[in-house]
Amino acid sequence: MGKDLQTLTQAMHNFVSQKGWYGTESLRPQTPKNIAISLVLEANEVLEHFQWQSEITNKAELSSELADVTLYLLQLAQICKIDLEEAVLKKLEVNYQRDWDQNTVK
C-alpha cells in the first residue's frame, strides 16, 4: 500500500465506513465539529508525552497518538471537501513569503 495522502485518506474512509460511523443512526456522527473536537483531543494526547519532560520515553505510544491525529486530520479534510495536499503546498508558498525571526537564524 502506498503512503501518499490520498491512499491514507482512502484507508481511513474504508475503516470509518466498515465501522458504520457514516450512518445516520451512528453513535459517532462524522460531522466536521465532532471530528475537529476529536482532532484536538488527540493532539492533546501527543502533548502529554512531553509533559514534565523533554525526551520521548515511549516512541511506540507517541507514534500511535500521531497516527490518531493524522487520521482525524485526513477525515476532517475529506468531510469538508478540502484537498489537503493542495492546501499544504499553498500554505508553504505563503510561508516562504513570511518573515519569522530573520535576525535569529545564524
Place of cell 460511523: 21
What was the pLDDT predicted at 26? Answer: 94
Q: How far apart are CA 62 and CA 45, in angstroms?
A: 9
Mean pLDDT of the chain: 92
Place of cell 530573520: 102
What was the pLDDT predicted at 39? Answer: 98
CA 95 to chain centre: 20
What was the pLDDT predicted at 74? Answer: 97
Percent of the chain with pLDDT over 90: 83
CATH class label, 5-96:
mainly alpha
What was the pLDDT predicted at 106? Answer: 58
**Residues in the chain with pLDDT < 50?**
none
Q: How far apart are CA 66 and CA 42, in angstroms?
A: 8
Tell me the domain boundaries of the chain.
Answer: 5-96
Residue burial 23-45, b: 16+ Cβ < 10 Å; e: rest:
eeeeeeebeeebbeebbeebeee
On whether the pTM is more than 0.75, the answer is: yes
What was the pLDDT predicted at 101? Answer: 73
What was the pLDDT predicted at 104? Answer: 64
